[in-house]
Amino acid sequence: MNVNIIGTGSYIPDVIEKNENFHQHKFLNADGSIINSTNEVIIEKFKAITGIGERRYIDTSLNNSDIAFYAAEKAIKDANIDQEELDYIIVAHNYGDIKHNVEQSDTVPSIASRVKHLLKIKNPKCVGYDMLFGCPGWIEATIQANAFIKSGIAKKCLVIGSETLSRVIDKHDRDSMIYSDGAGAVVLEASNNGSGILTHESATYALDEAHFIYFGETNNRDISDKRRYIKMYGRKIYEFALNHVPAAMKSCLDKSGIDIKDVKKILIHQANEKMDEAIVKRFYKLYDMEMPDGIMPMTIGELGNSSVATVPTLYDMILKGKMNGHSINKGDIILFASVGAGMNINAIVYKN
């Protein structure tokens, strides 16, 4: 018995924040010092490294739980099930609900409980909880749902990755241009047709790496409030990802017994275009192969880095025919992979 994804859904926000919109920002170094480049040069270099030309932000009237609900609704409809049949709702996120222009994050009740409430599910045995695992949270929540279903604890699970990073960015930090908002969801159930989750791999590196991504103060030392923002050591993350993610992907694939030549798509967390490309190239190099053309679909150029939402939204978009030049067919082998705060990494080999 394997565990299958039987329905998908996503929510892509309507507000488009283009790179040009950052031209008026006052970017500063982490120590508050002036950057000796114009914003035009800073943004041009940013685009060359990350591949991001624009990103999506949610409307000021919405919260993270709202867009998680929208994606969930679509996934349940796509799965053609009664939502009362769900045994678990697992929501991967990192910052809870942060209302527009409100500094404090709201995490009680959980996002999962809020989604269940919005879905109007009456069944008390449908259990909702949240997953905090950095950007790899949706993949990790999917791995947990897989365990619940294979063990017989659950029959159907709803797994959501939803984030509103636009609410936790420091406008004086160049890295703020990476982040975006979005939500993706899947419904999973048991399958005996040979498809589904074949193998998975997870790891946490926290001895020296725990604080590569963290919550810190603004780069602008003239601001006296103590509000915290998402911060990262980009170079350390890049080196960590290249040193550890390809090996984890290889371990996961090798356990499945699938030949690498049979992998049709690699859906990797949309973190940074250059970094993702380097990861996948190094993964193929472990098999003495060149990275095939079209193996790694990318949405980061238009949607930015929406953390836990990037992989499920990418998967849903391909399945719904919204990614030109990319398709996933019945029986295709897909490799999901992610890296993020913790530092956490994970991967899933999935037969569609």
> How confident is the model over 5-22, as pLDDT tens digits?
999 999 999 999 999 888
Whether residues 187 and 237 share a domain: the answer is no
141 & 217 share domain? no
Residues 285, 299 share a domain: yes
Mean pLDDT along residues 211-224: 87
Q: Is the pLDDT of residue 54 over 80?
A: yes
Q: Is there a single domain that holds both residue 311 and residue 298? A: yes
Please report the pLDDT score of residue 105 as a whole number: 86
Reported pTM: 0.94
pLDDT at residue 126 greater than cutoff 80:
yes
Same domain, 167 and 225: no
Higher pLDDT, 170 or 75: 75
pLDDT at 228: 87
Q: Are residues 124 and 18 in the same domain?
A: yes
Q: Chain centroid to CA 196: how far?
A: 20
Same domain, 50 and 157: yes
Burial class (CB in 10 A: 0-12, 13-18, 19+), 347: buried
The last residue of one of the domains, among 161, 176, 193, is 193
The whole-number pLDDT of residue 207 equals: 95
pLDDT tens digits, 246-281: 999 999 999 999 999 999 999 999 999 999 999 999
Instruction: Supply the pLDDT for residue 346.
Output: 98
Q: Tell whether the model's pLDDT for residue 226 goes beyond 80.
A: no
Please tell me the total count of domains within the chain: 2
Answer whether residue 211 shows pLDDT above 90. yes
Instruction: Calculate Rg over the CA atoms of the chain.
Output: 20
For residues 68 and 214, membership in a common domain is answered with no
* 3-state SS string for the chain: CEEEEEEEEEECCCEEEEHHHHCCCCCECCCCCECCCCHHHHHHHHHHHHCCCEEEECCCCCCHHHHHHHHHHHHHHHHCCCHHHCCEEEEECCCCECCCCCCCCECCCCHHHHHHHHHCCCCCCCEEEEECCCCCHHHHHHHHHHHHHHHCCCCEEEEEEEEEHHHCCCCCCHHHHHECEEEEEEEEEEECCCCEEEEEEEEECCCCCCCCEEEECCCCCCCCCCCCEEEECHHHHHHHHHHHHHHHHHHHHHHHCCCHHHEEEEEECCCCHHHHHHHHHHHHHCCCCCCCCCCCCCCHHHHCECHHHHHHHHHHHHHCCCCCCCCCCCCCEEEEEEEECCCEEEEEEEEC
Among 193, 210, 243, the domain boundary falls at 193
CB atoms within 10 A of CB 72: 31
pLDDT at res. 66: 97
CATH number for the domain including 294? 3.40.47.10
pLDDT in tens, 74-107: 999 999 999 999 999 999 999 999 988 887 888 8
Beta-carbon contacts of residue 183 (< 8 Å; ≥ 6 apart):
10, 11, 64, 67, 68, 70, 71, 160, 161, 162, 163, 306, 309, 313
- The per-residue pLDDT for 102 is 82
Q: What is the mean pLDDT of residues 173-192?
A: 94
Give the whole-angstrom CA distance, residue 269 versus residue 135.
Answer: 7
- 130 and 112 inside one domain: yes
In whole angstroms, give the CA distance from residue 134 to residue 269.
11
Same domain, 150 and 204: no
Residues 256 and 144 reside in one and the same domain? no
Among 176, 193, 210, the domain boundary falls at 193
Do both 30 and 134 map to the same domain? yes
Reply yes or no on whether the pLDDT at 225 is more than 80: no
Which tokens belong to 341? 């705060």
Can you give the residue range of the structural domain that contains 212? 198-351
Per-residue confidence band for 28, with pLDDT thresholds at 50, 70 and 90: confident
Task: Report, as an integer, the average pLDDT of 160-170.
Answer: 95
